[in-house]
Amino acid sequence: MNWKTSAVAIFCLGGAATGSYLFYLDFTDAGALGKGAPLAQVERFEERVKRKAASTFVWTNIKPAQKLFRRESVQTGQGSSALVRFNDGTVLELRENSLVVIDDLQNLTNNFLKGSMILHQASGDSNVTVGADGQAKVQTLSAQLLTPPVATDFFISGDARQEVQFTWKLRKESLSPPSTPSPISSPTVQVSSDPAFEKFTVAGDSKLSLKAGKYFWRVMRDQEAQSAVGNFSILHIEPPTLIWPSSKDLVEFFGESAVVEFRWLDRTRTTPRALTGARQGVHELEISTDADFKSLSQSKPINLQNHLLRLTGLSEGRYYWRIRSRFANLSVSSVTQDFIVTRATQVAIGLNSPLENTKVPEAATRFSWSDPFQDQSHDYLLELEALGEAGKAPLKEKVHAGTAITLKSIPPGPYRWRVRALAREQVIGESPWRKVSVERGTPIVLLTPQKSRELWHWDQPLPFKFSWNADPLVQDLGSEHEYQLEAAADANFTQSAVSLRTRENSVDHVLLKLTEGHHFWRVQILNHQGDVIKTSESSEFSFGLHPPLPFPASAQPENGISINPLDLETNPVLTWAEVPGAEAYELTIRQTIKADPAANSRSPASEKIWIKEVTRGHAFELKNPPEGTYFWSVRAIDRLKRPGEIMPEKKLLIDAGEPLDSPKALSKEVQ
């Protein structure tokens, strides 16, 4: 066989009447997967289309621009189709429920067993089907469809319509007049959105202006089809909506250049599944320093369905950005947005512990710092660098939305450490370096009061002590080291800070003379010169007279509820959750009184305290409440007769509904 003169094709379909299909096997090198030169390529496909190699029973899904080799099979399912283009330009349009095997064109009629296809060749179009006798039948069509080509896509935007020009070519033999004296009508073009052409439009002058949709067309003469049924689609495209950055946004950066995260919303009405291959178009995000985009600062290809692109390299200044989309017959651009890029000043981060030149144990050391942003939403990077070891990379630990980290098993030696704040991988703040020395030993562990312990009292203050584990640096005989106990109102130990030095690992709280309230505390070890050589982690506690009680955590009925007393067998009841430590509860109910319309008064509605009562229970019955709007709240009363926090008011509507209409007389006579 001469490869240069043969076109390639497809054949053989599947199966028997039971719905199974015929498998073709070829275990030679020529039939193996991907062997030899490809004969064809899948140009378009819709829905369920599969392929398999000749030497396997395994079917796989077709991919865009799939290469097809000799003896490979292509199968279409219900409602699916495929368009295969051969190397010589011949196009095979495979219809639904068909199975073909790639082979030479001359084998077409022998191997095509089931299904239907249209063969588009330079000489004309042919319709191939399998009859009831199982034999393939080839029908040479009188007219060959030229434009639009099979499965063409047009693209429109907004309210536009697409003007489609239809052209075809008649075979020479169909131009000869028949022997019958009947007049020959001119060919016409029928266009329909239904492949059965139950409803159709005749294209006058072979031209139509159409809205978005899928269409089918054919050439007719004397009420008989002269051509295959062609199809094309008009897809509606809308440019994306730009979300960020916009003209209201200021993009700040802290490094050499800005990192900008562009976000948009894809507004294409066509489902993403239908937009495959070339139908997706080509999209680019364009950035310029002028609103007309005469020169581009950057242009990056994007996938619209990703909705996000992060770009680097933008310096200070005003920029304009848009997304340009290019399709086969259409180019559209989004609305242009502008934004300003400016350099920001790095924020200073304060280090808490360990302190400068502190000696810490190798077992575990807690590093903590302040949050200058006050929102706990930034990432931080702790850098610990060994001194005197040139070339050794520093230890880096990332902390997400936190201000402390504990490092364990740090090799002994001198170090320096700092903390950096990060946003979109940019450094937006940093602390100065601080020196610290890691030594062998155990950390100081705080014992009492336990972390977050509340030591509230009602009558007499509760006795308690500060205690921690004994450290050999202090406890060993002849040691000149001592402990320093510190307490303060803040975690940085700067507000109302008090301290006490001792050689004991336990101290009564009275000796610190603390004011009642919330406190932080820690223990340090000092050498004979007063230098800090070891510091514990900080802890916190509260002590003193019990604060006012909180309001009940829940209450019923819910805010804004409307109650019709006629629907209830009993009076409405207000309930609330118990508050620990409460001796009683104070209930307050306000009533809104509407102005009397009969009095012709223009004054607004008035309010009055309907009920204010102290009760020991957790419920209160509203006895025969008149219709109206009520606002109620509860607060707890402690054993010292102090009222607690007031619960936010809840709204309650008492509404008996509309009054019944007056009875109507059915007859003038008394029954």
Taking only the tens place, the pLDDT of each residue in 23-51 is 333 333 334 456 688 888 998 888 789 99
Residue corresponding to tokens 């820690």: 522
446-545 matches 147-171+187-236 in CATH topology: yes
Q: What is the domain partition of the chain in residue ranges?
A: 8-140, 147-171+187-236, 241-343, 347-439, 446-545, 555-654
**596-to-180, 627, 629, 656, 658 alpha-carbon distances in Å:** 98, 14, 15, 18, 17
For 241-343, give the CATH class.
mainly beta
Is residue 401's pLDDT more than 50?
Answer: yes
Task: Return the amino acid letter for 350.
Answer: G
- As a whole number of angstroms, the distance between CA 526 and CA 534 comes to 7
Architecture of domain 446-545: Sandwich (2.60)
Residue type, 644: G
Q: Report how far apart, in Å, the C-alpha atoms of 50 and of each of 60, 65, 273, 572 are.
A: 5, 13, 17, 68
| 109 Rama class: left (phi>0) / alpha (psi -120 to 50) / beta | alpha
DSSP-based three-state secondary structure for 69: coil
CATH class (in words) of the domain with range 555-654: mainly beta
Joined tokens for residue 440 = 């062998």
401: left (phi over 0), alpha (psi -120 to 50) or beta: left
For residue 13, pLDDT beyond 70:
no
What whole-number distance in Å separates Cα of residue 131 and Cα of residue 133? 5
- Cα 494 to its chain centre, rounded Å, is 43
Q: What is the pLDDT of residues 435-465, one digit of tens each?
A: 988 877 778 899 999 999 999 999 889 999 9
Dihedrals phi, psi of 566, to nearest 5 degrees:
-70, -20
Task: At 50, list the tokens.
Answer: 């599969």
Residue 180 has pLDDT above 70, yes or no: no
Q: Which phi and psi angles does 279 have, rounded to 5°? A: -70, -20
Its sign, for the CA torsion 59, 65, 68, 73, is: positive
Q: What is the pLDDT of residue 411?
A: 86
For the cut 80, the answer to whether the pLDDT of residue 646 exceeds it is yes
CATH architecture of 147-171+187-236: Sandwich (2.60)
- Would you call 373 exposed, middle or buried from its count of C-beta atoms within 10 A (0-12, 13-18, 19+)? middle
Tell me how far apart the alpha carbons of residues 458 and 467 are, in angstroms, rounded to a whole number: 25
Determine which helix (DSSP H) or strand (DSSP E) holds 473, and give its type and residue range: helix 472-475
Scan for tokens 């709007």, then name that residue: 629
Helix (H, G, I), strand (E, B) or coil at 268: coil
Q: Which helix (H) or strand (E) holds 331?
A: strand 331-333
Q: Assess contact for 329 and 154: CB atoms under 8 A.
A: yes
**Among 23-27, 73-77, 150-154, 257-261, which is the least confidently predicted range?**
23-27
Count Cα neighbours of 213 within 13 Å in the Cβ-side half-sphere.
12
User: How many residues comprise the chain?
Assistant: 671
* Residue located via tokens 């378009």: 44
The pLDDT tens digits for 63-96 are: 888 898 888 888 898 888 888 898 888 888 888 8
Could you confirm whether domain 347-439 is CATH 3.40.190.10?
no
Q: Phi and psi dihedrals of 206, rounded to 5?
A: 55, 40
- Please provide the average confidence, as pLDDT, over all residues in the chain: 83
Instruction: Estimate the share of the chain in helix, then strand, then coil, as percent rounded to the nearest 5.
Output: 5, 45, 50
Closest to 9 in 3D by CA, of 97, 123, 128, 96: 128
Which of 76-80, 109-113, 193-197 is predicted most confidently? 193-197
What is residue 470's three-state secondary structure? coil
> Coil, helix or strand for 639?
coil
Helix (H, G, I), strand (E, B) or coil at 386: strand
Q: What does the block give as tokens for 226?
A: 């002269």
**What totals of helices (H) and strands (E) does the chain contain, helices first?**
2, 58
Structure confidence at residue 597 as a pLDDT band (50, 70, 90): low
Query: What is residue 27's predicted lDDT score, i.e. its pLDDT?
Result: 35
Report pTM: 0.49
- Identify the burial level of 194 via C-beta atoms within 10 angstroms of its C-beta, where 0-12 means exposed, 13-18 middle and 19 or more buried: exposed
Residues 6+ apart with CB under 8 A from 455: 449, 462, 464, 541, 542, 543, 544
Helix, strand or coil for residue 306?
A: helix
> pLDDT of 457-514, one tens digit each?
998 899 999 999 998 888 887 788 899 999 999 988 888 789 999 999 999 999 999 9
